[in-house]
Amino acid sequence: MFILATVINNLVKIVTVAWNLMVIEDADSDQRIAAFNLLNIINISLGILTPLAGLVVAKYGIIKAERTFMIFAIISMTAMIIIRDINYTETKVGKQILEEHKGLAFKDVLKKGLYGGTITQLRNNSRLKIAFLVQVLFNLTLPLGAFNSMYFAPFMTGQLGIDKAAVSILGGVYAGVMLLVFS
């Protein structure tokens, strides 16, 4: 079940990238900055609620609580995907990209350059390099501090003797620190 949950969780990353592109593709630079900041603040601030999960674990036990969380996640994420798909309208940039690749075989799209000169731009633009590095570091640390940190829960409860419900505070503290960094 853990492997299945991990695979499903990682599939959400595809939806996340698509959603982020939908939000920013037709926006100007200031709107993009505001949108990314707002999306990150919303995502991180939800981590403050993680200690509430600890209360659910304390009341129902870790197995029943985890099953409930997984069922809720599957239902809510599936609904999100379906609702977004039904209401989606292709952006101007998306239409342009589709038109450019119309009639091309997949291997030709790859030859043409799926990322449209991104590597060249990264090599030549130091500000872009810094922005790229910050984004990569952010995306590496966010999962480690937020949801992947919960993979350490068995060690913290079994070896360190921390109460199962109290482990949830880790996610809340991480979210609070990240929000402080964003302010």
The pLDDT of 53-72, averaged and rounded, is 88
The pLDDT of 78-84, averaged and rounded, is 87
pLDDT confidence of 41, banded at 50, 70, 90?
confident
At 75 the pLDDT is 92
pLDDT in tens, 113-142: 656 667 777 888 888 888 888 877 776 666
pLDDT in tens, 88-105: 888 888 888 888 878 888
- The H-assigned helical ranges of the chain are 2-24, 29-46, 50-60, 62-87, 92-101, 106-113, 118-124, 126-145, 153-158, 169-182
Count of the separate structural domains present in the chain: 1
At 111 the pLDDT is 66
Q: Are 48 and 179 in contact (CB under 8 A)?
A: yes
Residue 44: Cβ within 10 Å count: 20
Percentage above 70 pLDDT, the chain: 84
| CB within 8 Å of 54: residues ≥ 6 apart | 164, 165, 166, 167, 168, 169
pTM of the model: 0.53
At 79 the pLDDT is 92
Would you say residue 164 has pLDDT above 60?
yes
Eight-class DSSP state of 102 = T
Domain extent, residue 144, equals: 2-182
